[in-house]
Amino acid sequence: MIDNKNIIPDIERTGVNFFQTFTNFKAEPGYGLTIDHTGNLDLSSIAATGFFLSSLVIGVAQGYLDSKVALQQAKGTLLTLRDNIPHFHGFFAHFLDIHTGQRHKKCEYSTIDTALALNGVITVDQYFKDPDISALAKAILNRVNWSLLIHQRAGKTHFYMAYNPDADGDYVNGRPGFIHHWSMLAEQLMMYVMFAGANDDVAMSKRLYDDFDRKLGTYKDVNYYYSPGNSLFVYQYPQCWFDLKDYVDADGFSWYQNSRKATYGHYYLSRDLKDRFPTFGEKYFGFTASYGRKGYQVSSAIPNVNNEVHHDGSVAPNAIIGSLIFAPELALPALEKMRQDARLWDERYGFINAFNDEEPAWVSSRYLAIDKGLEMLMANAYLHKDVMNAYMNHPLIKKGMEVLGWKKLG
């Protein structure tokens, strides 16, 4: 019989172990880079390294890692980020060779993946309070030119999403340069706080935050602002680091409560579609990004921009674990049920990435680093808030929230 009280600590512990196993600690230019997924051990995602850096704080705080080892790993990784990784005005290439640190093929220079990496930089800077780490973190953070991404579109002010100099590069469609716009609610919330904390242009900081679209939708009498694709990870990623339960923005709006409502919207939809997608059963829920039978997929709940469900019927543990801080009353029973299924748990790395019990039954053989990072950080947020406390107390984040007028309740 599985001891349910250890489920969440085990998710946290195995998450740290995953990043210790799949991060490059060799004396190479790619030191500190973490794989994108276990299907290709030579390919790194810069976002994964942000989760790895954050894992060091959990490892030390909870006794999974020796503090001296973690400190050296943090320093070495920040040196890599400062000196070895290709960047465009501080924005890192999305994918990298894990050994050389060089840009993978003609991938984009990504704002969101850079922001996730910077979340890790900010976290280790505040937690370790080491002069070498702080100097490296300052250099990495200060060179990010957020202003370069600012542009006007349809009378509103937005960041560009990415940059690619190659006409045949990823997402370019023959026109090299800046790519797409952060004009919608998605997972980019930390960018506005970082920009506001890094400059003195209060008016521009507020305009950027105010100008992205917020579309209000309803499912089963649950009203919430939803992203165009309404994938659950969008509401979860920023709050792996931000502790926003007791905060509202300048308009009195709570991102935490919006994520809680989105979680319930996904839960009710999962219940209503359990005949169409029987793997959901009575307790599993969530439409998110994960592997599916045919490869990586981003699932969509309704409401969404197309007003149709996009899903292959697979259940992703990260959707449920990522809901721990928003709706533990929904997540814990699902995780207890999931933990009883021996197919779904690996003693080294925790829950598998996804599974589908429709015939023929399928269990993912790959782990995706950012999904594992989400699980690890949300387990820590639920239990201890080691990462949240460090992140929220960093001067850049404190200033950014103050500039935007985010206030703590009570």
For residue range 336-359, list pLDDT tens digits in order.
999 999 999 999 999 999 999 999
Give the tokens for residue 224. Answer: 């919430």
Q: How confident is the model at residue 410 (pLDDT cuts 50, 70, 90)?
A: confident
Enter the DSSP assignment of 250. Answer: T
Q: Would you call 93 helix, strand, or coil by DSSP?
A: strand
What does the pLDDT average to over 399-403?
99
Question: Where do runs of H (alpha helix) occur along 295-393?
Answer: 317-321, 328-339, 369-383, 386-392
Q: Residue 319's closest CA among 345, 302, 300?
A: 300
For 256-269, what is each residue's pLDDT tens digit?
Answer: 999 999 999 999 99
Q: What share of the chain is helix, strand, coil (3-state, %, to 5)?
A: 45, 20, 35
Q: Beta-carbon neighbour count of residue 223 at 10 Å?
A: 12
Q: What angle do CA 208, 210, 214 make, to 5 degrees?
A: 120
> In 245-366, at which residue ranges do the beta strands (DSSP E only) sit?
247-248, 289-292, 295-298, 345-346, 350-351, 355-356, 362-363
Q: Is the pLDDT of residue 25 over 70?
A: yes
* Cβ atoms 322, 378 nearer than 8 A: yes
| HSE-CB of 407 using CA atoms within 13 angstroms | 7
Our measurement of the distance from residue 203's CA atom to the centroid of its chain's CA atoms, rounded to an integer in Å, reads 28
Residue type, 131: P
Residue type, 45: S
For 145-193, what is each residue's pLDDT tens digit?
Answer: 999 999 999 999 999 999 999 999 999 999 999 999 999 999 999 999 9
pLDDT-above-70 percentage for the chain? 99
Instruction: Give the per-residue pLDDT at 5.
Output: 78
Instruction: Give the per-residue pLDDT at 249.
Output: 99
For the domain covering 4-408, report its CATH number. 1.50.10.140
Instruction: Give the per-residue pLDDT at 2.
Output: 56
For 127-146, what is each residue's pLDDT tens digit?
Answer: 999 999 999 999 999 999 99
CB neighbour class for 201 (10 Å; exposed up to 12, middle 13-18, buried from 19): middle
For 35-85, what is each residue's pLDDT tens digit?
Answer: 999 999 999 999 999 999 999 999 999 999 999 999 999 999 999 999 999
Q: How confident is the model at residue 3 (pLDDT cuts 50, 70, 90)?
A: low
Predicted structure pTM score: 0.97
Q: Three-class SS string for the chain?
A: CCCHHHHHHHHHHHHHHHHHHCECCCCCCCCCCEEEECCEEEEEEHHHHHHHHHHHHHHHHCCCCCHHHHHHHHHHHHHHHHHCCCEECCEEECEEECCCCCECCCCCEEHHHHHHHHHHHHHHHHHHCCHHHHHHHHHHHHCCCHHHHEEEECCEEEEEEEEECCCCCCCCCCCCEEEEECCECCCCHHHHHHHHHHCCCHHHHHHHHHHCECEEEEECCEEEEECCCCCCHHHHCHHHCCCCCCEECCCCCCHHHHHHHHHHHHHHHHHHCCCCCHHHCCCCCCCCEEEECCEEEECECCCCCCCCCECCCCECHHHHHCCCCCCHHHHHHHHHHHHCCHHHEECCCEECCCEECCCCCEECCCCEHHHHHHHHHHHHHHHCCHHHHHHHCCHHHHHHHHHHCCEECC
Instruction: Give the per-residue pLDDT at 1.
Output: 46
Q: Beta-carbon neighbour count of residue 124 at 10 Å?
A: 31
Question: CA distances (Å), 159 to each of 21, 132, 148, 334, in order?
Answer: 35, 31, 9, 38
